[in-house]
Structures are given as C-alpha cells and as structure tokens.
Amino acid sequence: MHGQAAPEQEASPQELDTLTVTGTKDRDARILDYRNESAAVGTKTDTPLLETPQSISVVTEDQIVMRNAQGVAEALRYTAGTSTETYGPDPRGYDWVTIRGFDAFNSRYLDGLRLQNYEFPEIFGLERVEVMKGPSSVLYGQSTAGGLINAISKRPKEVAFGEIGTEIGTHESYEATLDFGGPLSADGSLLYRFTGLFKDNQKDSTGFSVDARRYYIAPAVTWNISPDTKIDFLVSYFHTDSTQVPSFAAAPNGAPTEVRAFGYDQWDFEKNDILRFSYQLEHTFTPDLRFRQNFNASSYDVKDKYVNSLGYSSGTVMDRSASIWNSDSRSIGLDNQLELKIGTDRIEQTLLFGFDYAYATADTQYYEDPIPGIDIANPDYSLPIPVPTTLLSDSYQRSTQYGFYAQDQIKLDSKWVGTFSIRQDWAETDLKERTTGGTHDRQKDEAFTGRAGITYLADNGLAPYASYSTSFYPNSGTDSAGNTFDPTEGKQYEIGLKYAPKDFRGGATLSVFDLTQENSLTTDPANTAFSKANGEIQSRGIEFEGNLSITGNLDFLVNASYADVEIISSGDGDQGNTPALTPEKTASAWLNYSFRDGSLEGLTLGAGVRYVGPSYSSNYNTARNEDYTVLDLAARYVKGPWVYALNVNNVFDTVEWINTDYQYNKTAGNSVNLSVAYHW
C-alpha cells in the first residue's frame, strides 16, 4: 500500500491552485463536501459540485490510499458510470476505463491537459482523480462522448511534512515510497516537495508471471512571487517495464485455455520512459479578475516486443507471429484562462475566456514476422522466437489542436445557477509513412461544441439540474474515394438531482442521461476494404452516487449504474446489438468505520463490495462474459508517527474469464498487501 498522507492543516481558498479542491476539507478527506468542494474538471472555476449541471465523480487521495489503488483504473472501481480494467489487470500501467459505455482512453487528462499518445500517470504522484460524465469538448477540445478523466498531481504544502513507507504483498510484490516537503525559504515564498516510488511485482493477482518494475521521482517547487502571483513547477520521471497483458489462447472451439497467447517470459515485454515538465501560473489582478496559465511538455519513449496469436490452420496448433513496436513521442500542451467575476445585489456572474493549444509527434517503427506455432494440447514455451526483421511500418505523425472557449455562469438570487459554454476547435493530423515508397496523409477537422445547463438550489439541500452538452473526436483515415472522415460527434441530454443539506457532511447525485455518438467508423458495404463514418451508438441510463457521513465514525460510499447501450446504425451487421465489453449494470459500496477514542483510537476498518454485470465479447453478441461480485477489505492504524495498513482485495479470489473474441483475459484475483509508513 502506498504511504499514508499525514493529517495536514487546512488551507485558505486563495492558497489553493485552481486545479485542486477549494473550500473546507473534511478532516480525513474521505467524504466530499458537495456544498464547498469543487472539481475543476467541471467548469475550470471554483464552482461547488452542488452547482455544476453535470454528473461529476471525485476520488480523493485518502480514498486512493485506503483502498490501496495501484492505478487510476483501480481508483475508479467504486465510481458510478464507469467500467474499469476492461481487459483485466494491466502490469504495464495503462488504465482501461469506459464511461457510460464509451472508451475513455483518449480522454485522459493530467492537471487539466490531455495526455497525448499513450502516456499514463503514476498513482502515487496524484492527490485525486476527477471524472466528468458525458460530452466535455467545450472546455477541453477533442474527447470521446462518454466523458473524461482528470488526474491531479501532488503539490508542495506550506507546512513541513515527510513520510517514508514500505510494502510487501502476495505474488512477490514489494514497494518503497518517499514523500516529503515544506518551506524552502523563511518567509514561505518558496515551497518544495519530492515524491518517489520503487515497485516490483513478479506476478499479477492471478499468479501470472509479469516481472513488472516501476520507478517514479517527482520534484516540485511552488514560488509565491507576490500575494497576487503564484507558480507551481512540476517535474517527473516515470519508468516501467513488464511483460505484456497476461492473455490466454482460445481453443479451436472458442473455449478458454490456460495456454499463453500474450505474455511470454522469454520474449514479451514493454518498457516505458516518461519525462514531464509542467507549470501552473496564477495571477490575481483584482479580487474579481484572475489569469491562469497551465503548461506541460513531455517525452514518452516505448519499446514493445510481443507475440500475436493468429488462429488455427491445422488441428490444435496455433499460428503465431512476433512483433517489435518502438515509438518516440513528444508533446506540449498550453491552456490560458481569464476569469472575471461580476456581482450585483441579485446576480453573481463568473465569466471565463480561454485559449488552449496542443502539439504532439510520434516516430514509430513496427516489425513483424511469422514464428513457429504452438500446440495448445501440449504447449512448449521454450520454442525459439526469432527477432522479426520485416519492417511493416515506419511512420511519423504530427498532430495539432487549438481552440477558443467562453463560459458564463450566472447565479440569480442565490437560487438559480445557469452555466453556458461555447467553443471552436481546429485540429490537424499529418501522417507520413516511409515504407513502400512513402505516403503522406493530412487530415483537418474543425468543430463547434457547447454546453447549456441550469441548476436550482433549494433551501433543503436539493439541487435539481438539467444540461445539454456536445463533443467531437477526429476519425483517422480515408474512405474509398480518398476523402477524410468527419469527426465523431457526441451529444447528451442529462437531468439529475443533487442533495447536500446544510451542516451535512457529504452529498449524493441521481442522474438520468440520453447520450448519442454519431459518425463512428463502420465497414463500407460497397467496398468492405474501406470504412464509412455513418455509425451511431446510443447510451441511455441512470446513475446514483452517494458520499455520506452517517455518524462521526461511519462513512459510506454507494454507487449504482444502469446503461442501455445500443449500436443504432452500422455497416458491420451488428445493428441493434450492445458494444463489446460493455456491462449494462454495475454497482459498488464502501464502508469505513473509524475509532475516534478508547483503546482502538486511530484504527479505521473498511470494507467494499463491487458488482460488474455480464457483457458481450464482441459487437456481434455471440459470446457472453459472466457477471461477478468481489469483496475488498482494508484496515489502517495510526499510532503516533507510524501508520500500519492491511489490504485484502478480492477476498474470495473470484476470477472470471474475459472473452475479447480473439483471446481471453482474467479479472483481477486475490491480493494481500501489508504496509508500514513513518511520518515526521
């Protein structure tokens, strides 16, 4: 388990960065205060969750630590509207999450800026994770229809602190963590923080050998230049190496086997090196006028070797090929925001104007050659795997996006809150293929997106709301006539009810949505070698999420989701079906009991149950994955400067097959982790 964060002093609102929580923190940060806490992902302002006209979920650092989440996907296991670990546990570190039935991999953000290419964050370097559900392009540009995930990095604190921790776990798991910081100058104008992690996992939770290691270091400095100007500098280096995702071959009759299809010890591996530099600048001209600038530059290099399973050409011998995929990518992101607040006796108004820019390149080579097949009736993993030498692709891709956006939040008589946003985007992608004589494809897209929402704040804590929002995401490639595709377009109608009465710790959201994504790529029936952008997918559902403090000792989180996701239009023969790996129903609940006095003072016990409904292996709905229910337990004991923790995930080792239509994966199995941390 990651080292625990020591209790900290509350900070005044002006000391907090715009991408972190504003308002009063709960004493142990496990329960969200809907009236006072904000999620920057919703409006890029300090609007309380209760007043945001869209469903938003927040996972706090304390929740991440209490549940011993090993990645963003695990942190979202207890979040309404999401389905996590689509392909089972991924030792490489990628976070596979769907939101309201749509893959969110291309809608992941770090500190408000999009993660380009295949970048991913280290969970120990985060202080919270936010999820906005539904189309969200109006503030962020290109993103998929289901919503987006925004992770918030740890930042320096005004009070000196430190912790060092270690962990051991089943399946040969070891971890060491370090996190310390405080003032660098006597007047507190310079603050610093240093965060580091080393982790080694020889096996995953199902016992599959993964030989996974990761290193993470992240120095950070905050410079309070003046009472009106502050800048945070964040640097991180993240290295991971492991085998590929543990996967298993399907027998010729389609049944699962224990034969490896992916993740061969002597060949499969992936190495990632991610270097990031970012800063967040804020300047206050007057109490009502602020400017913020958010910048990120990253370098991401990946080296991949893996075996492909190609089906059966003879009996039980599975045909295979070996591949090498290397990619060096660079990216920058910039977001400028100007916020103006205007007030009269009856009206409070917050205006936001912004311009953002994103640039990314990827230089990629791909090699593949056939290798000897493997007999699944008598597998021999010692068969030689020659290094592939056939270069199938040598490409260079450059993408740019820039957009202007504006938002007006109006509060009338402290009761009615209107949120109105518009945005114009321009996106361009250049792809040069340097093999077979070379080709050059260029695609340009532009899109106008918006959001309109209204919330009513009743005296009893109820806040009914309604909103409409849109999104876009570019489609790559060309049709049979050589024309580029229109981007996918998302639109959502959402109505809901939030509840957070005065003097109540917590809050709840009930939401009903109708979400449609148009212009999805499907097969062109007139020329099946090409695609057409005429597909349509609809997701209709209802979600409930509650963060409740029942007593001073008892906290309760509960979530339930139902989504009817259907392929409305398609050229692939799957019209009327449910998209692959999309469960209709999910639910979860987590309970914490903290002993505040007596001989057990400092002890917190936690228990959670998660349910994931059945899903289909492909869009053709011919094979079905079973539903499953998992029980998790946690205990945390604070005694002076020492913190001890025990986590047991999937207590009864409930493991189900995940049929992806071409191979099988497994859901996460049982794991037991014991940690100790010292604070100063």
Q: Is residue 91 domain-resident?
A: yes
- Whether residues 440 and 584 fall in one domain: yes
Res. 27: pLDDT tops 50: no
pLDDT reported for residue 5? 38
* Of 425 and 265, the one with more pLDDT: 425
CB of 442 closer than 8 Å to CB of 459: no
Res. 13: pLDDT tops 60: no
pLDDT tens digit sequence for 127-143:
999 999 999 999 999 99
pLDDT reported for residue 436? 75
Identify the band that residue 30 occupies on the pLDDT scale cut at 50, 70 and 90: low
Using a pLDDT cut of 90, give the percent of the chain over it: 81
pLDDT tens digit sequence for 544-602:
999 988 888 999 999 999 999 999 999 999 999 999 999 999 999 999 999 999 999 99
Per the rule left: phi > 0, alpha: psi between -120 and 50, beta: everything else, 598 is: left
Q: Is residue 102 domain-resident?
A: yes
Q: Is residue 58 domain-resident?
A: yes
Q: What is the domain-level CATH number for residue 66?
A: 2.170.130.10
The per-type count for the chain, helices as H runs and strands as E runs, is 4, 36
74 secondary structure, DSSP code = H
- Whether residues 426 and 285 fall in one domain: yes
Q: Is residue 555 domain-resident?
A: yes
Please state the separation of Cα 41 from the chain's center in Å: 12
pLDDT reported for residue 38? 79
Q: Is residue 237 domain-resident?
A: no
Q: Is residue 529 domain-resident?
A: yes
CB of 472 closer than 8 Å to CB of 447: yes
- Average pLDDT, stretch 5-18? 37
pLDDT tens digit sequence for 461-499:
999 999 999 999 999 888 888 888 999 999 999 999 999
Res. 73: pLDDT tops 80: yes
pLDDT reported for residue 24? 36
- Average pLDDT, stretch 209-215? 90
Q: What is the domain-level CATH number for residue 346?
A: 2.40.170.20
Among 153, 174, 208, the domain boundary falls at: 153
CB of 506 closer than 8 Å to CB of 500: yes
pLDDT reported for residue 209? 83
Among 118, 153, 188, the domain boundary falls at: 153
Q: Is residue 291 domain-resident?
A: yes
| Summary mean pLDDT of the chain | 92
pLDDT reported for residue 675? 98
Q: Is residue 5 domain-resident?
A: no
Domain that holds residue 137: 40-153
Among 109, 130, 153, the domain boundary falls at: 153
SS3 of 525, please?
Answer: coil
Tally of domains within the chain: 2
Q: For residue 286, count CB atoms less than 10 angstroms from its CB and return exposed for 0-12, middle for 13-18, buried for 19 or more.
A: exposed
pLDDT reported for residue 260? 87
